[in-house]
Amino acid sequence: MMPEPFGDRLLAAFEARVPMCVGIDPHKQLLEAWGLRDDVAGLESFARTCIDAFADQVAVLKPQSAFFERHGAAGVAVLERTIAAARAAGALVILDAKRGDIGSTAAAYAEAYLERHSAMFCDALTVSPYLGFGSVRPFIDAAQRNGAGVFVLAETSNPEGPQVQRAAVAAGMTVAQHIVNEAAEVNTQFLDERNSTLGSVGVVIGGTIAPGGVDVRRLRGPILVPGFGAQGATVADLARLFPKECTVIASTSRDILSAGPERGELTQKAKTVGSRLAEQRGD
Ligand SMILES: O=c1ccn([C@@H]2O[C@H](COP(=O)(O)O)[C@@H](O)[C@H]2O)c(=O)[nH]1
């Protein structure tokens, strides 16, 4: 039997939980602010507190792989435990690792994160299409086989992004729009074959971008929106950038994590931000 598709699981989580994504980004400065050492024990304690505060309340958690990898193999082991604990508590996990490579190597990355036998299996993975959209096909295939998702970088939140992502691939079409259109095509094919409402190929579009860059109305997949909070994007920006019918996953890391280390304060902060987002969606 085919596993339940990621899009359906995401919609169910948004109905039942705080409808947003909290990023788990154990910055050195945050570890220090939480009274923890910048070592593997500090990392484990930080991640454990995040799980206790968010995993049974918030729809999506997004560990940032880089902050675990910087502690070496022991840090990656903490990441594995964090993903497993978050999923066991019912949160969906998007691993932010921005993987991408030539097809055969992409297939190995896909096996690491999107095959159910893997220790690092997560609900979705961020991937980079800047070796060509076709190069992310192994991620899409593995995700669709396993009820997981991918989030393809389209227009990122950093100020350097537009130089590449707003360049034209054809008259009137930006690179970012091309990526969104390719994702839309995969979703349409998948949804035509399955009795499902939301595709498993999402895109990443920063909440900080200038309006007018990408048209997402035909995507039929979720939009992961980082840049909310610490990088300056607000609820009003989300309303301005995305049509109401889109499934927008607003993501914030430092803004919420800076409420720690008390578990109750972290949970409360996520709930406060989540209700502002739900209000904007008109729930
Ligand atoms: O376009 C992008 C893609 C990914 N990110 C990641 O999201 C978080 C943002 O953290 P904040 O503390 O909320 O600024 C971080 O892990 C980035 O690598 C992004 O910011 N923009």
Return the ligand 1 atom nearest residue 64 CA: 16
Does the annotation mark 269 as catalytic? no
Q: Which residue has the least CA distance to atom 19 on ligand 1?
A: 226
Residue 227 CA to ligand 1 centre (angstroms): 6
Tell whether the model's pLDDT for residue 1 goes beyond 90. Answer: no
Which residues share a beta bridge with 251?
A: 21
Distance 131 CA to ligand 1 centre (A): 21
Return the closest-CA partner of residue 180 out of 148, 155, 163: 155
Is any atom of ligand 1 closer than 6 Å to the C-beta of 47?
A: no
Nearest-atom number in ligand 1 for the CA of 252 is 13
The DSSP annotation for 143-200 comes to HHHHT-EEEEEEE-SSTTHHHHHTSEEETTEEHHHHHHHHHHHHHHHHHHHTT-SS-S
Give the per-residue pLDDT at 282: 75
Q: In ligand 1, which atom is closest to the CA atom of 155?
A: 1
Centroid of chain to Cα 95 = 7
Q: Is 156 in the pocket of ligand 1 (CB under 6 A)?
A: yes
Q: Residue 226 Cα, ligand 1 centroid: separation in angstroms?
A: 5
Distance CA 59, CA 233 (A): 20
Q: What average pLDDT does this structure show over 64-77?
A: 98
Q: Where are the domains of the chain?
A: 6-275
Closest ligand 1 atom to Cα of 25: 16
What are the structure tokens assigned to 57, written together?
């309340």
CA of 169 to the centre of ligand 1 (A): 26
Question: Burial, 184: exposed, middle or buried (Cβ in 10 Å; 0-12, 13-18, 19+)?
Answer: buried
Q: Which pLDDT score is estimated for 283?
A: 67
Q: How far is the CA of 2 from the centre of ligand 1 (A)?
A: 32
Residue among 24, 64, 158 to mutate when testing ligand 1 (max atoms within 8 A of CB): 64
214 and 180 Cβ atoms separated by less than 8 Å: yes
Q: Which atom of ligand 1 is nearest to the CA of 231?
A: 14
Per residue in 207-221, pLDDT (tens digit) is: 999 988 899 999 999
From 28, 62, 98, 269, the catalytic residue: 98
> In this structure, which residue's CA is closest to atom 10 in ligand 1?
253
Q: For residue 182, what are its two tokens?
A: 């390719």
Say which amino acid occupies 28.
Answer: K
Judge if the beta carbon of residue 157 lies within 6 A of ligand 1: yes
- Predicted pLDDT at 280: 80
Residues forming beta bridges with residue 60, ordered by sequence position: 21, 92
Q: Read off the pLDDT of residues 154-176 as tens digits, 9 standing for 90 and up.
A: 999 999 999 999 999 988 899 99
Strand 149-155 with 248-252, pairing: unpaired
Q: How far is the CA of 264 from the centre of ligand 1 (A)?
A: 24
Q: Tell me the backbone φ, ψ of residue 225, rounded to 5 degrees.
A: -120, 90
Tell me the H-state helices in 194-262.
235-241, 254-257
Mean pLDDT of the chain: 96
**Amino acid making up residue 210:** A
Fold of 6-275: TIM Barrel (3.20.20)
Verdict on whether the full-model pTM lies above 0.95:
yes
Cα 48 from Cα 118, distance rounded (Å): 21
What is the CA 197 to chain-centroid distance, rounded? 19
Q: Is 254 in the pocket of ligand 1 (CB under 6 A)?
A: yes
Residues 6+ apart with CB under 8 A from 270: 18, 20, 22, 53, 54, 57, 58, 256
- Residue 278 pLDDT level (bands cut at 50, 70, 90): confident
Share of the chain above pLDDT 70, in %: 100
